[in-house]
């Protein structure tokens, strides 16, 4: 009889845990009710000032988001990337496909700060590095964005990507500048200049749409203002590896004492706390 009671008690506890998880999932879905939340997303990362240190940090952030993407079984495509001079990356643009990707990641836009003992400093001194993250939705055909040809400057250049089958031997990479908004997009993922231009136009439409969304919601400043100062006083999250170990979001005050897990893509608690904050 006692053994049966223990079994029933254990099953009840497991059911309560499962029920709590389902309630939380449904609650979060209620928060993802904005027009663009269900869409796929483009994610851009840019290294701040500081050369190799910041470029290495930008690559660490890209790895973090790609780990998170893989853990969700989402698909991702590297659209464009510029390698650092010695290590890391100067910038990277990734397209992520999955349910509610933009809704989950939109609060990641901003400056991310890293404090650590530098692996590039022979004196083993502590360094602070910055990188910016920008997330915007991949718009579908139901959303019409009008772009005048006269407002565009289109440049082609040779890809600087890594080796492999996608190396461009011609000037097939494309950069498009939208003159009125000063928004710049580029793509070098395909050998075909035509396909890269098509991808650029889709990215530009997405950026312009997101730009208007943000203006209406009055959540943030324009794209260029957000990216103009990647440094002190602007960070949304700090990742500290020395002298103590902690990741803290400066907007929600949510903290984790396991930075290694966070940098390995376990960022759901940060994403969820941001959603709660937005809908508070």
Share of the chain above pLDDT 90, in %: 61
Higher per-residue confidence, 153 vs 167? 153
Q: Residue 183 falls within a domain, yes or no? A: yes
Alpha helix stretches (DSSP H) within 120-192 = none
Q: Residue 26 falls within a domain, yes or no? A: no
Lowest-confidence segment of 22-26, 180-184, 190-194, 210-214 by average pLDDT: 22-26
Domain shared by 136 and 241, yes or no: yes
Q: Residue 3 falls within a domain, yes or no? A: no
As a whole number of angstroms, the distance between CA 83 and CA 60 comes to 13
Residue 220: the pLDDT is 41
Helix axes 268-278, 2-31, angle to 10 degrees: 60
Statement: the pTM of the whole predicted model exceeds 0.75: yes
Residue 234: the pLDDT is 73
* pLDDT for residue 123 is more than 50: yes
Residue 22: the pLDDT is 64
Domain shared by 193 and 58, yes or no: no
As a whole number of angstroms, the distance between CA 174 and CA 160 comes to 12
SS3 per-residue string spanning 37-57: CCCCEEEEEEECCCCHHHHHH
Residue 13: the pLDDT is 79
Tell me the residue range of the domain where 96 lies. 36-142+233-278
Domain shared by 56 and 107, yes or no: yes
CATH code of the domain in which 130 resides: 3.30.70.1660
* pLDDT for residue 150 is more than 70: yes
Give me the residue label for tokens 């070098």.
Answer: 188
Q: Which two three-digit tokens encode residue 131?
A: 């990188």
Lowest-confidence segment of 76-80, 118-122, 141-145, 170-174 by average pLDDT: 141-145
Domain shared by 84 and 124, yes or no: yes
Residue 129: the pLDDT is 95
Q: Residue 129 falls within a domain, yes or no? A: yes
125 burial (CB, 10 Å; 0-12 / 13-18 / 19+) is: exposed
The model's pLDDT over 167-194, given as tens digits with 9 standing for 90+, comes to 445 678 999 999 999 999 999 988 899 9
Q: Which two three-digit tokens encode residue 225?
A: 């203002």
Domain shared by 135 and 237, yes or no: yes
**Overall domain count for the chain:** 2
Domain shared by 179 and 154, yes or no: yes
Domain shared by 135 and 160, yes or no: no
CATH code of the domain in which 158 resides: 3.30.160.20
Q: Residue 75 falls within a domain, yes or no? A: yes
As a whole number of angstroms, the distance between CA 205 and CA 208 comes to 5
* pLDDT for residue 1 is more than 70: no
- C-alpha count within 13 angstroms, C-beta hemisphere, residue 230: 29
Lowest-confidence segment of 4-13, 78-87, 196-205, 232-241 by average pLDDT: 4-13
Q: Residue 171 falls within a domain, yes or no? A: yes
The model's pLDDT over 223-261, given as tens digits with 9 standing for 90+, comes to 444 454 566 567 999 999 999 999 999 999 999 999 999
Q: Residue 17 falls within a domain, yes or no? A: no
Domain shared by 165 and 132, yes or no: no
Domain shared by 132 and 190, yes or no: no
Cα 140 to the center of its chain, rounded Å: 20
Cα 148 to the center of its chain, rounded Å: 29
Give the mean pLDDT of 67-93.
Answer: 95
Domain shared by 74 and 196, yes or no: no
Looking at 215, 245, 264, the residue that finishes a domain is 215
CA distances (Å), origin 140, targets 16, 96, 212: 39, 14, 16
Q: Which residues on neighbouring strands pair with residue 147, listed in sequence order?
A: none
Q: Residue 222 falls within a domain, yes or no? A: no
Domain shared by 257 and 131, yes or no: yes
Domain shared by 155 and 195, yes or no: yes
Give the mean pLDDT of 132-141.
Answer: 88
């Amino acid at each position: 009889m006692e053994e049966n009671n223990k079994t029933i008690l254990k099953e009840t506890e497991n059911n309560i845990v499962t029920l709590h998880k389902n309630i939380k999932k449904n609650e979060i879905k209620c928060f993802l009710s904005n027009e663009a939340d269900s869409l796929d997303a483009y994610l851009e990362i840019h290294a701040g000032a500081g050369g190799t240190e910041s470029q290495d940090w930008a690559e660490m952030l890209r790895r973090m988001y790609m780990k998170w993407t893989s853990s969700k079984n989402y698909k991702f495509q590297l659209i464009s990337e510029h390698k650092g001079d010695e290590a890391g990356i100067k910038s990277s643009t990734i397209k992520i496909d999955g349910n509610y990707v933009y809704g989950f990641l939109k609060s990641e836009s901003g400056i991310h700060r890293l404090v650590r003992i530098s692996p590039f400093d022979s004196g083993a001194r502590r360094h602070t590095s910055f990188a910016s993250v920008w997330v915007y939705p991949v718009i579908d055909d139901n959303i019409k964005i009008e772009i005048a040809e006269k407002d565009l400057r289109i440049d082609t250049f040779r890809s600087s990507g890594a080796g492999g089958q996608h190396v461009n031997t011609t000037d097939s990479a494309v950069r498009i500048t939208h003159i009125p908004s000063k928004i710049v997009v580029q793509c070098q993922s395909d050998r075909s200049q035509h396909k890269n231009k098509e991808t650029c136009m889709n990215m530009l439409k997405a950026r312009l749409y997101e730009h208007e969304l943000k203006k209406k919601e009055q959540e943030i400043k324009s794209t260029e203002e957000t990216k103009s100062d990647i440094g002190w006083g602007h960070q949304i999250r700090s990742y500290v590896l020395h002298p103590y170990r902690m990741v803290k979001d400066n907007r929600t005050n949510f903290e984790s004492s396991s930075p290694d897990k966070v940098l390995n893509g376990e960022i759901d608690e940060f994403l969820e706390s941001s959603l709660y904050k937005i809908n508070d």
